[in-house]
Structure 1
Amino acid sequence: MSFLSFLLGEKKKSATVAKERLQIILAHERAGRTVGPDYLPALQRELVEVISKYVSISPQDIKVHLERQDNLEVLEVKIELPDLAR
């Protein structure tokens, strides 16, 4: 390693960069499979708390659903608000 490459940093080969990126992606996918959607009930409770500051709703008025489609995760949140007739 020359002094100049030490100061400027060595440029990594594209194969090394691709390998590191693949390892990160695989680790993320493995973690996603083992963890699961444990945060959904907490998310639903927090949504009820926040929305309740502005509108009177019950926990049954909010539905939170996580769906996996191939390599894509879709978070669906349905909120039924009361009819505020004026």
Structure 2
Amino acid sequence: MSFLSFFLGEKKKTATVAKERLQIILAHERSGRGASRADYLPQLQAELVAVISKYVQISASDIKVSLEKQDNFEVLEVKIELPDAVK
């Protein structure tokens, strides 16, 4: 850690920020309205498309977001179909 980064702080990576936001969204939804209502999933999907589109050309149909209950916990499943690499 450099002297300046100690005082100025380090710039967070985009993936880390996105992960933290997702954790906050999930915690908020679980505590507020209950996890059984997953009405935030379409908005989450749209935001994922917006973020990933900055780096790769994709459409909304390339991302599937679902929330399932398994035993005593919930599973947020995100499937992202990326285009093949250009050769």
On whether the aligned pair clears a TM of 0.5, the verdict is yes
Question: What residue identity is the alignment partner of 1:32?
Answer: G
2:76 corresponds in structure 1 to 75
Structure with greater proportional helix content? 1
Q: CA deviation at 1:32?
A: 1.4
In the alignment of these two chains, the number of paired residues is 58
Question: What stretches of structure 1 of length at least 5 have no aligned partner?
Answer: 1-27
Q: CA deviation at 1:30?
A: 8.9
Q: Radius of gyration: which is bigger?
A: 1
Q: Percent identity?
A: 66
1:65 corresponds in structure 2 to 66
2:42 pairs with 1:49: no
Q: Output the CA distance in 2 between the equivalents of 1:66 and 1:81.
A: 21
Change (3 A) 1:30 1:59: closer
Q: Output the CA distance in 2 between the equivalents of 1:37 and 1:56.
A: 27
CA RMSD of aligned residues (A): 2.1
Q: CA deviation at 1:71?
A: 1.6
Q: Output the CA distance in 1 between the equivalents of 2:86 and 2:43.
A: 31
Q: CA deviation at 1:85?
A: 2.7
Following superposition, which runs of at least 4 residues in structure 1 exceed 6 angstroms of deviation? Answer: none
Change (3 A) 1:48 1:29: closer
